[in-house]
Chain A
Amino acid sequence: ELKVEQNPLFLSMQEGKNYTIYCNYSTTSDRLYWYRQDPGKSLESLFVLLSNGAVKQEGRLMASLDTKARLSTLHITAAVHDLSATYFCAVDSMRFGAGTRLTVKP
């Protein structure tokens, strides 16, 4: 059974700081997805990583994929309050991690 583990599950950080969210998965896969969910809202797609070594960046977020280590990271640079949300990774399209609830404080 495919397992997808995210850590940390809760992250409180100050504006301007950097941090990384980790997504580990248990079986071979070369497709990894990141989504964002604002409180009380649905999910929206952030990144699709399709091969080993893939890196995608948008604004203050950068995602990478290491299929050999079965690990994806979502790096936050110089966090701002607008990034406060829950971030999910998903493997093989349908298998989601538990989510990382990010709170960025002034």
Chain B
Amino acid sequence: SQTIHQWPATLVQPVGSPLSLECTVEGTSNPNLYWYRQAAGRGLQLLFYSVGIGQISSEVPQNLSASRPQDRQFILSSKKLLLSDSGFYLCAWSVRDPGTQYFGPGTRLLVL
């Protein structure tokens, strides 16, 4: 069966510090991968999606970036965090696009 992992689960970072969130998927090959951000009490904002290694599509211009160094690994990064980067970050995978997405447990980020 397929599983998706995200870490860390919770992160508190100062403004201006770097960020690296990791997401890995097990039990499937060549998944589509997605990063979303959810502000408190709000909907999901698509940040990045990837259909293969090294292929990243960005949805929203901002100080975040994403990379896919391996087939089942998706990394979200920032060089300098802003207060507005606080939120709940969710990674998801799907077999194809469009298709049902399967979400990871999420990372709760608080930037102070």
Partners in one complex: yes
Residues of B within 8 A of A51 (CB): none
A17 CB–B CB distance under 8 Å: no
Distance in angstroms between the alpha carbons of A87 and B3 in the assembled complex: 22
Chain A, residue nearest B6 (CB)? A42
CB distance from B82 to the nearest CB of A (A): 23
Contact-residue bracket for chain A: 10 to 19
Residues of B within 8 A of A41 (CB): 105-106
Chain A, residue nearest B98 (CB)? A93
B26 CB–A CB distance under 8 Å: no
Distance in angstroms between the alpha carbons of A69 and B100 in the assembled complex: 22
Distance in angstroms between the alpha carbons of A101 and B38 in the assembled complex: 14
Distance in angstroms between the alpha carbons of A45 and B94 in the assembled complex: 12
Known A-B contacts A42-B90, A42-B106, A43-B90; the reply to A97 vs B100 at CB < 8 A is no
Known A-B contacts A42-B90, A42-B105, A42-B106; the reply to A93 vs B43 at CB < 8 A is no
Known A-B contacts A42-B90, A98-B43; the reply to A93 vs B104 at CB < 8 A is no
CB distance from A80 to the nearest CB of B (A): 24
Within 8 A of B (CB), among A11-60: 31, 33, 41-45, 48
Establish whether residues B104 and A42, one from each chain, have CB atoms under 8 Å apart when the complex forms.
yes
Residues of B within 8 A of A90 (CB): 101
Binding site for B on A (CB under 8 A): 31, 33, 41-45, 48, 88, 90, 92-99, 101
11 sample A-B contacts, Cβ–Cβ < 8 Å, listed by A number = A31-B98, A33-B101, A42-B90, A43-B101, A44-B103, A45-B100, A93-B99, A93-B101, A94-B49, A94-B97, A94-B98
Knowing that A93-B100, A94-B101, A96-B43 touch, tell me 19 more A-B residue pairs with CB under 8 angstroms: A33-B100, A33-B101, A41-B106, A43-B92, A45-B100, A45-B102, A48-B100, A88-B43, A88-B44, A93-B97, A93-B98, A93-B101, A94-B34, A94-B98, A95-B46, A96-B44, A96-B46, A99-B44, A101-B41
